Structure 1
Amino acid sequence: MTVRTDEVADGVFRLSTLVPEVAAPAGFTFNQYLVRAEQPLLFHTGPRHMFAAIAEAVGRLTPVEGLRWISFGHVESDECGSMNQWLAAAPLAQVAHGATACMVSLNDLADRPPRVLADGEVIDLGGKRVRWIDTPHVPHAWESGLVFEETAGTLFTGDLFTQAGDGPALTRESIVEAAASTEEMFKASALTPQTAPTIRRLADLQPRTLAVMHGSCFAGDGAGELSGLADYYERAFRTAAA
């Protein structure tokens, strides 16, 4: 299993593993992100069976035992399956997530008590600042939320903008169409009246980089990309409602 490492924004590293048998023949990437700072943060842990390879890749960037924060979009194996392996490897690390996830899952699942984050709460990592944003049911799961790294303007989008295939780590070409095509394939998102408005609120952040969990990251007009994705989901909701 090969983990490719790319710096997609200042101090933000994408750790990507291609799994060819998912969404074959194009394959499917599983991405984690390390925010390198005085208190390093890992966003997405990867599933349990990928832990050793991902930990080795992280260790080339910063000592694994020095990891301080672990976060992810929602409770799902590719997002947090190896959470407790990371907690064991990094004695000072703490899971940080929104109140809903902690209440319904993480207070029980995590081997150490998680840090409960309020919507909009900021953690100062030392050189980097990450803001927690509640996004219930976007793209799916009641407990969903995302993180925005304020200094580099990087929005960690979780499953939003999911793309099949193994494209470049970072692109300036729009990823909206590829994300819409993949959504049509998987039907993974929850279509509700709040889906598009929630994504439009993310556009208000004016991110310069979109750090995507599955597929290529985007650099450039992140607000434009988010608005385009919101337009797609708004049309999809209207079609489904009709």
Structure 2
Amino acid sequence: MAITNPQSGTRVDEIADGIYRISTPVNLPGGFGFSFNQYLIDDDEALLFHTGPRKMFALVREAVASVLPLQRLRHIAFSHVEADECGSLNDWLAVAPQSAPLCGRIAAMTSVADLADRPPLALADGERLSLGRHAVRWFDTPHLPHGWECGLLMEERTRTLLCGDLFTQGGAEHPPLVETDILGPSEAFRQPLDYYAHAPDTRRMLERLAAAGPATLACMHGSAWRGDGAALLRALADSVSP
């Protein structure tokens, strides 16, 4: 573990072989806390999943640079178009001149081909991309949890599911990697806000992710989790799509 910015509390932790969680805790007015996580895969073609909001760019850049030179980044990836997913996309393209956006085909068509300063690499559903020692596979997950263009990446060698807004946990301070229950806290956070789109095929999409057999869930907000990812995804399906 390394604290890369003592003022913000931004830290970097390796949660699987060659995969790093970058996390910044944020305390908001009213006592509400939240964490913003990005995931960095260190490889021949290094990949960053989630950029963080634009105003957090300097903190995330500092954290990435503590692991590898920014010029080694090749893929700036994200699940769907929101500020915390891709708000600093063009800043990353500027500091990593050989990088390009990485997203699904719907995101590329509807937004990214226009808003990004370089053309995106758009992955089809089920398409695999080799990074070197690691390889990622794209899963289209329209409206899961929200957004027509939504999708997730699975790193196949470590069986790490970069699961975006699934299993979001409230609060600013979280251990980097846990094996304890995250479904209860994440559902307690979700239910009052209900930010899921509740697509008709939510259960089918969660079952497809479960069938991939993830061993680590790289959550965008809160702790990453290690264990029987298939069972946890099926339990989430029971909760959101009874």
Residues 1:200 and 2:212 aligned together: no
Residue 128 of structure 2 is matched in structure 1 by 122
The one of 91, 100, 104 equivalent to 1:85 is 91
Q: SS state of the match for residue 20, structure 1? A: strand
The one of 169, 187, 190 equivalent to 2:197 is 190
Task: Tell me the TM-score normalized by structure 1.
Answer: 0.94
Gaps of 5+ in 1: 236-242
Q: Give CA-to-partner distance per residue, 1:35-71, whole Å, 9 cap, x none.
A: 0111100000001110011101100100012101111
Shift of the alpha carbon at 1:26? 5.1
Point out the more displaced range, 181-190 or 126-135.
181-190
Equivalences for 1:16-165 in 2 at 5 Å? 16-21=23-28, 25=31, 27-165=33-171
Shift of the alpha carbon at 1:186? 2.0
Residue 232 of structure 1 is matched in structure 2 by 239
Q: Give CA-to-partner distance per residue, 1:216-241, whole Å, 9 cap, x none.
A: 11101011110111110113xxxxxx
- Which aligned segments of 4 or more residues in structure 1 are displaced greater than 3 angstroms? none
Shift of the alpha carbon at 1:193? 1.6
Task: Tell me the TM-score normalized by structure 2.
Answer: 0.94
Q: SS state of the match for residue 137, structure 1? A: coil
Whole-Å separation in 1 of the counterparts to 2:236 and 2:31: 25
Gaps of 5+ in 2: 1-7
Whole-Å separation in 2 of the counterparts to 1:192 and 1:90: 36
Shift of the alpha carbon at 1:192? 2.3
Whole-Å separation in 1 of the counterparts to 2:41 and 2:144: 23
Whole-Å separation in 2 of the counterparts to 1:208 and 1:25: 33
Asked if 2 retains the 8 angstrom alpha-carbon contact of 1:4 and 1:15, the reply is: yes
Whole-Å separation in 1 of the counterparts to 2:34 and 2:17: 25
Residue 183 of structure 2 is matched in structure 1 by 176
Residue 239 of structure 1 is matched in structure 2 by none
Give the CA RMSD over aligned residues: 1.0
Identity %: 50
Q: SS state of the match for residue 158, structure 1? A: coil
Asked if 2 retains the 8 angstrom alpha-carbon contact of 1:2 and 1:53, the reply is: no
